DNA sequence: TTGCTCCTCACGTCACGTGAGGTGGC
DNA sequence: TTGCTCCTCACGTCACGTGAGGTGGC
């Protein structure tokens, strides 16, 4: 009359490993309704599929088996509701966490991909690869300086930096890391440098007035508009002739620069072993559009 | 000149346990740039906060430390992009999985909560608690039969059941579980019974023509409308005098019943230890609304 | 005898966490 | 001497996974 399932059948129907079922039995979390008195075989009833599937969901949510077991001993509806309510809240938090992780690695990816295009000397605008016959756009290339349109870009501004004579940027950077938590800065987002204006940058390129976090949910924005863009290879704070090239281009094209200067590392230690190949992008607003020039 | 961080400082700035940092050092995943030759103290550079934060994100996504280490040895942008692309895909799948888990426990919760209200004899309509002076609604109570409006409710229909003489419902139920995967049925959702019509139910209440899964993304629907609702306590398939009570009420109120009969267990082994207290709800459509009756 | 399913028991694995016992400078 | 930070080494933990060696019925 009664139908029982062997551990193999029960494992298949529930999609739970036999070794897991044996372990759950061993720790007293979930046991078969019957054991063969002769050979000690485990026999499960089909009813048990309901319960084991519920346990499977909870354990897949990383609820400790002890917690599941506690809720299971003497069961009542109120107890189960409390357990589910807790798990719903945890699930909400976990999904929030995963969304942030996604945002972190995605932001990182976009920077790296843009860096790859720069290194390849592709014609690109805002990370969109353009074919060489595209007219509307300008060369984005390691050795070129150019004016490009940029969408707005959120960030979080860190505390004001204070550099002492002959001190490396590490001290202010550590200070930034130290206070990151209070400022709701997640240090896993890419970090950039921020000079208040072009004069500050030209004066001490390797001493940004602040550090910024490239958090897409940031409370500040680099506004959409036209920016003077240039790149350089080298370790943090090593800009070589970049300031000279930047200003030469601005003068030649009669550009007035305005607003803060952003220094963003597209390639850093996360994707490169050799520090001398780190790739930085400088980005500063232009007051008016330059006259249309023909590219040749 | 150079500034180094002790393991304690580095742990605080990065929000990673010291024991974890030592472990990552031990397995060669992430080591301090320097060791004190005297006492073997670990010294980290502030730069390393960038890398360790990236590793932290990946490890929090359950990427095996071996995989992280492999991508870390000789780094290049393309390799990191591949790693990130993989993780983005995994993250999408994981979030999909969590949404389904949420849906599973939430569906379960709603049934259990409704069951609690029925057991408490609350005046309720569709799981919303009503105060006793509410007019528009009817008694939902373990011992009452009532006509209630129900929103539509999706489900997945399992294969047709075949009962043999004297065979328990376990065999068809096992068949349902066996083929669940092919039918894209996740057995963690509550399972219900389905009789094609009221005659089939009255004939063999404990032998549903099909089993159904209460999956909110199901391809079928119990349409919105008025349903005759009743409850009973007892193990699966034990309906007691419920069919009699149901038909007596229908006759008394001159109701025509139409469409399939749904038997849903609001309380089952998941929230009760004692099978005799399992709570089932019967739900069958009514052809026309009964005449307005005064409740007394 | 062979093949199959089941069993128990012991040990391995992954990513740490936890102490015990010791050092080294103020 | 006391307190503090750091070290290594060994063992524990969680939820299994993986054999080794054995049984029992066709």
| Cβ pair A74:B273 closer than 8 A | yes
Strand order in the sheet with B220-222: B146-150, B225-233, B279-286, B257-267, B191-195, B210-213, B153-160, B220-222
The rounded Cα A77 to chain-centroid distance in angstroms is 41
pLDDT of residue B62: 96
Residues of chain B below pLDDT 50: 123-139, 290, 294-296
- Torsion sign over Cα A43, A47, A53, A54: negative
For C16, nearest residue by CA–C1' is B20
B43-67, pLDDT tens digit by residue? Answer: 999 999 999 999 999 999 999 999 9
Q: How confident is the model at residue A289 (pLDDT cuts 50, 70, 90)?
A: low
- pTM of the predicted model, to two decimals? 0.90
In angstroms, rounded to a whole number, what is the distance separating the alpha carbons of residues B160 and A144?
Answer: 71
Burial A126-155 (b: 16+ CB within 10 A, else e): eeeebeeeeeebbebbeeebbbbebeebeb
B108 touching A (Cβ < 8 Å): yes
In whole angstroms, what separates CA B189 from the centre of its chain? Answer: 5
* Under 8 Å between Cβ of B243 and B202: yes
Cα B166 from Cα B164, distance rounded (Å): 6
Q: What is the pLDDT of residue A12?
A: 95
Q: Do A53 and B115 touch (CB under 8 A)?
A: no
Each residue's pLDDT tens digit, A203-260? 999 999 999 999 999 999 999 999 999 999 999 999 999 999 999 999 999 999 999 9
Using an 8 Å CB-CB cutoff, list chain A residues near B267.
Answer: 77
| Residue A67 pLDDT exceeds 60 | yes
Using a CB–CB cutoff of 8 Å, tell me whether A274 touches chain B. Answer: no
- Which residues of chain B from 4 to 23 reach within 8 Å of chain A, CB to CB? 5, 12-15
Q: Are B73 and B83 in contact (CB under 8 A)?
A: no
More confidently predicted of A158 and A144: A158
For residues A37-62, give the mean pLDDT. Answer: 96
Is any Cβ of chain B less than 8 angstroms from the Cβ of A106? yes
Q: What is the enclosing helix (H) or strand (E) of B263? A: strand B257-267
Nucleotide nearest to A68 (CA to C1'): D15
Give me the CA B202–C1' C2 separation in Å, rounded. Answer: 54
- Give pairs for B122-131: CB < 8 Å, separation 24+: B125/B149, B126/B150, B126/B151
Residue B144: predicted pLDDT: 82
Under an 8 A CB cutoff, do B46 and A170 touch? Answer: yes
Q: Is the CB of A20 under 7 A from strand C?
A: no
Q: Is the CB of B17 under 7 A from strand D?
A: no
Task: Please tell me the distance from the alpha carbon of residue B168 to that of residue A2, in angstroms, as a whole number.
Answer: 7
Which residues of chain A does B76 touch, with a Cβ-Cβ cutoff of 8 Å? 271-272
CA B111 – CA B166 distance, rounded (Å): 31
The pLDDT of residue A135 is 35
The pLDDT tens digits of the residues spanning A108-156 come to 999 999 999 888 875 444 444 444 333 334 446 777 888 888 999 999 9
Q: Whose CA is nearest the C1' atom of nucleotide D16? A: A20
Q: Which helix (H) or strand (E) holds A97?
A: helix A77-120
Residue B271 is nearest to which of A1, A47, A80, comparing CB atoms? A80
Q: Please check the confidence at residue A158 and state whether its pLDDT lies above 80.
A: yes
Q: Which of A5, A61, A105 sits opposite B87 (nearest CB)?
A: A105
Nucleic acid strand C within 7 Å of B233 CB: no
Distance CA B243, CA A13 (A): 32
């Amino acid at each position: 009359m009664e139908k029982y399932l062997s551990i193999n059948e029960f494992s298949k129907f529930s999609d739970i490993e036999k070794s897991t079922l044996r372990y759950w039995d061993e720790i007293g979390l979930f046991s078969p309704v019957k054991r063969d008195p002769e050979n000690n075989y485990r026999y499960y009833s089909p009813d048990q599929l309901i319960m084991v599937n519920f346990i499977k969901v909870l354990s897949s949510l990383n609820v400790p088996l002890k917690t599941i077991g506690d809720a299971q001993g003497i069961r009542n509806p109120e107890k189960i509701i409390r357990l589910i309510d807790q798990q719903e809240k945890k699930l909400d938090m976990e999904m929030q966490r995963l969304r942030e992780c996604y945002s972190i690695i995605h932001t990182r990816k976009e920077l790296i991909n843009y860096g790859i295009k720069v290194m390849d000397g592709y014609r690109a605008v805002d990370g969109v690869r353009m074919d060489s016959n595209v007219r509307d756009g300008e060369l984005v290339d390691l050795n070129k300086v150019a004016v490009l349109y940029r969408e707005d870009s959120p960030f979080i501004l860190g505390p004001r930096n204070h550099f002492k004579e002959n001190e490396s940027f590490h001290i202010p950077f550590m200070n930034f890391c130290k206070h990151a938590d209070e400022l709701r800065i997640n240090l896993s987002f890419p970090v950039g440098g921020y000079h208040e204006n072009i004069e500050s940058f030209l004066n001490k390129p390797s001493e940004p007035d602040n550090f910024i976090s490239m958090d897409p949910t940031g409370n500040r924005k680099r506004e959409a508009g036209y920016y003077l863009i240039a790149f350089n290879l080298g370790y943090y704070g090593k800009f070589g002739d970049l300031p000279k090239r930047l200003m030469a281009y601005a003068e030649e094209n009669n550009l007035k620069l305005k607003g803060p200067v952003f220094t963003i590392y597209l390639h850093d230690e996360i994707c490169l072993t050799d520090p001398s190949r780190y790739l930085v992008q400088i980005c500063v607003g232009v007051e008016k559009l330059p006259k249309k020039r023909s590219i040749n």
